[in-house]
Amino acid sequence: MLSKYVSQVNFNSYDEFIKSFEVRVPDNFNFAYDVVDEIARTTPDKVAIVWCNDKGEEAVFTFGQLKYYSDKAANFFKSVGIKKGDPVMLILKRRYEFWFCILALHKLGAVCIPATHLLTAKDIVYRNNAADIKMIVTVNEEDVIKHVEDAQKESPTLKFKALVGGSREGWYDFNSELEKADENFVRPTGEEATKNSDTSLIYFTSGTTGMPKMVQHDFTYPLGHILTAKYWQNVQEDGLHLTVADTGWAKAVWGKIYGQWTAGSAVFVYDYDKFVPKELLEVIVKYGVTTFCAPPTIYRFFIKEDLTKYDFSKLKYCVVAGEPLNPEVYNQFYKATGLKLMEGYGQTECTVALATYSWMDPKPGSMGKPSPGYDIDIVDENGNSCDVGEEGQIVIRTDKRIPPGMFNGYYRDEELTKKVWNNGIYYTGDMAWRDEDGYFWFVGRADDVIKSSGYRIGPFEVESALLEHPAVLECAITAVPDPIRGQIVKATVVLAKGYTAGDDLAKELQEHVKTVTAPYKYPRIIEFVDELPKTISGKIRRVEIREQDSK
């Protein structure tokens, strides 16, 4: 399957990879037919999804079954009145019906909008009206149902609602409709067929820095994730890949569908409500996950467990992205498991843009090097390329070519699109520097960088210093306005088990930072908290801490 879509499958070095790797984009590519149904035709019994939940329920789906269920789901959506181009929102957490739905919507050419169950009625109203959402499919949970029903009153375009795992007045019962639906869906032709440039998917960004933005992707997007899955996550033919992500976050399509299936790997889905490190580790071992991808926060909790208790002999490769990975976490995980965390960097707006690819030696704390097809640079405030060691903003140059998988702009927000993407340059909003070997080192989001007494301080470095202290489980560095210094550094700290907050410990942490990094960066204020404000994807929302502090 893979060789159909890439110029060459195997490479001997990063240099060869960069030079020769090319994605081939055929006309009218549609992932649901061209990958899923095609695998179902040739090897219907090949496993696509291994699913379990925190209640001990299990299910396995082959490609043959996925074709069957997605055809049925497409017929159901069609019978309801969903047509090509109609926006349908999926709030399905990690239920396996999510996969039936997204494939069905691709088959119809409808626009799939995955979202998180944490949305309030107000958030849903905003989304419904921003995207003219016509239908919502969601889980049978009281809170979500209430929010959707409340939102419907102020959402004139929302016509249909379907419930997975239950029935209720005013809602389609998705599972019984699926039973009834015809099992053959014929690929549309002519005007009804999808074109590469049609919108297939709209994702909201994580909302780490502010209101989530609606990122629009077209039908070629899945092919961009061959890079993500095959070459960064290093998924294997007939392997079992787990990416920890809610389906309402773009990371789900980075790690739970497109690239993995195209590269021949099955995906593992663990449907849980509360993240319990032990339980996640147990399912990884029990089901024999071979490749694993998670944000740093998951690894930060893992290293506090006794990892020697687990038999990781099946687990071959682990990657990390979404936030900066503190070197201390890398080192401790390596010491406990012998696995090197291979870091990647990207956004909802693109695919993996920088990574520590398998031919490279990881440098703990660095994101890695540019992906093939991505013309990445670091520029200063005047737009000039930065020298080695000089800090600036990461940009993607698109004047010569646009990498497959790059978004088509923010949905219905031309102004914002132009602001971040103009004159052939896409501005990521992230600050970094490059070393003499071409590795990229993350400094912080442009908004999070602190300016204190004329110094620029990247939160990541100070957070990493703090994390080296055994008392610190997690922490966030933010700026607090100060009349003399402009801004001063504040650390918000969650303590590891067995440590008690107090002035002595605060002093000790301050001294610790002064010894491991330049003293001017040490946090003058330390606040101990039980947990940090985070997005659904587990990212620390420094903006929330700043807002609270300025009240």
Number of residues that bind Mg ion (CB under 5 A): 1
CB of 14 to ligand ATP, least distance (A): 17
Distance CA 213, CA 198 (A): 19
The answer to whether the CB of 475 falls within 8 A of the CB of 460 is: no
Structure tokens at 276: 């319990």
DSSP 8-state secondary structure symbol assigned to residue 77: H
The answer to whether the CB of 318 falls within 8 A of the CB of 342 is: yes
Distance CA 169, CA 179 (A): 19
Comparison of 205 and 356: residue with beta carbon closer to Mg ion: 205
CB of 228 to ligand ATP, least distance (A): 12
Comparison of 371 and 537: residue with beta carbon closer to Mg ion: 537
**Contacting residues for 184 by C-beta, under 8 A, at least 6 apart:** 71, 75
- Using alpha carbons, list the distances in angstroms from residue 422 to 132, 166, 345, 350, 397: 27, 47, 22, 16, 10
Q: Choosing among ligand ATP, Mg ion, none, which partner's interface includes residue 430 (Cβ < 5 to 8 Å by kind)?
A: ligand ATP
Comparison of 66 and 532: residue with beta carbon closer to ligand ATP: 532
CB of 431 to ligand ATP, least distance (A): 9
Q: Choosing among Mg ion, ligand ATP, none, which partner's interface includes residue 343 (Cβ < 5 to 8 Å by kind)?
A: ligand ATP
Q: Choosing among Mg ion, ligand ATP, none, which partner's interface includes residue 212 (Cβ < 5 to 8 Å by kind)?
A: ligand ATP
Q: Which stretch binds Mg ion (CB under 5 A): 29-37, 200-208, 333-341, 411-419?
A: 200-208
Q: Which helix (H) or strand (E) holds 445?
A: strand 440-445
Q: Choosing among ligand ATP, Mg ion, none, which partner's interface includes residue 138 (Cβ < 5 to 8 Å by kind)?
A: none
CB of 365 to Mg ion, least distance (A): 21
CB of 532 to Mg ion, least distance (A): 18
In sequence order, what are the beta bridge partners of 111? 87
Token pair 């978004």 in the structure block, residue: 407
- Using alpha carbons, list the distances in angstroms from residue 521 to 61, 109, 126, 214, 341: 52, 52, 40, 36, 27
CB of 216 to Mg ion, least distance (A): 14
Most distant CA pair in the chain, distance: 72
**CB-nearest residue to Mg ion:** 205
Q: Choosing among ligand ATP, Mg ion, none, which partner's interface includes residue 268 (Cβ < 5 to 8 Å by kind)?
A: none
CB of 367 to Mg ion, least distance (A): 15
| SS3 (DSSP) at 215 | strand
E-assigned strand segments in 263-316: 266-271, 291-294
Token pair 């390329």 in the structure block, residue: 385
The answer to whether the CB of 275 falls within 8 A of the CB of 289 is: no
Comparison of 188 and 368: residue with beta carbon closer to ligand ATP: 368
Comparison of 70 and 351: residue with beta carbon closer to ligand ATP: 351
Comparison of 148 and 250: residue with beta carbon closer to Mg ion: 250
Comparison of 209 and 260: residue with beta carbon closer to ligand ATP: 209
CB of 115 to ligand ATP, least distance (A): 13
Token pair 């110094």 in the structure block, residue: 455
CB of 537 to ligand ATP, least distance (A): 6
CB of 446 to Mg ion, least distance (A): 11
Residues 408-445, buried b or exposed e (16+ Cβ, 10 A)?
A: bbbbeeeeebeebbeeebbbbbbbbbbeeeebbbbbbb
One symbol per residue from 2 to 41: x for binding Mg ion (CB under 5 A), - otherwise; what is it?
A: ----------------------------------------
Comparison of 147 and 534: residue with beta carbon closer to ligand ATP: 534
Q: Does 205 bind Mg ion (CB under 5 A)?
A: yes
In sequence order, what are the beta bridge partners of 440? 368, 434
State phi, psi for 111 to the nearest 5 degrees: -95, 120
Comparison of 158 and 245: residue with beta carbon closer to ligand ATP: 245
Residues that bind ligand ATP (CB under 6 A): 205-210, 212-213, 250, 321-324, 343, 345, 347-348, 367, 428, 430, 442, 445, 537, 539
CB of 327 to ligand ATP, least distance (A): 12
Structure tokens at 64: 């043959």
Distance CA 310, CA 318 (A): 15
**Contacting residues for 478 by C-beta, under 8 A, at least 6 apart:** 448, 450, 459, 489, 490, 492, 542, 545, 546, 549
Q: Which stretch binds Mg ion (CB under 5 A): 145-153, 201-209, 237-245, 311-319?
A: 201-209
Considering Cα of 222, then 272, then 493, then 362, what sign does the dihedral take? negative
Q: Which stretch binds Mg ion (CB under 5 A): 31-39, 199-207, 300-308, 448-456?
A: 199-207
Distance CA 341, CA 19 (A): 25
Comparison of 109 and 346: residue with beta carbon closer to ligand ATP: 346
Q: Choosing among Mg ion, ligand ATP, none, which partner's interface includes residue 271 (Cβ < 5 to 8 Å by kind)?
A: none
Q: Looking at residues 454 to 473 of the shown chain, list those that interact with Mg ion (rule: CB under 5 A).
A: none
Q: Does 393 bind Mg ion (CB under 5 A)?
A: no
Q: Choosing among ligand ATP, Mg ion, none, which partner's interface includes residue 367 (Cβ < 5 to 8 Å by kind)?
A: ligand ATP
| Pairing status of strand 425-434 against strand 392-397 | antiparallel
Comparison of 229 and 240: residue with beta carbon closer to ligand ATP: 229
Interaction site with Mg ion (CB under 5 A): 205
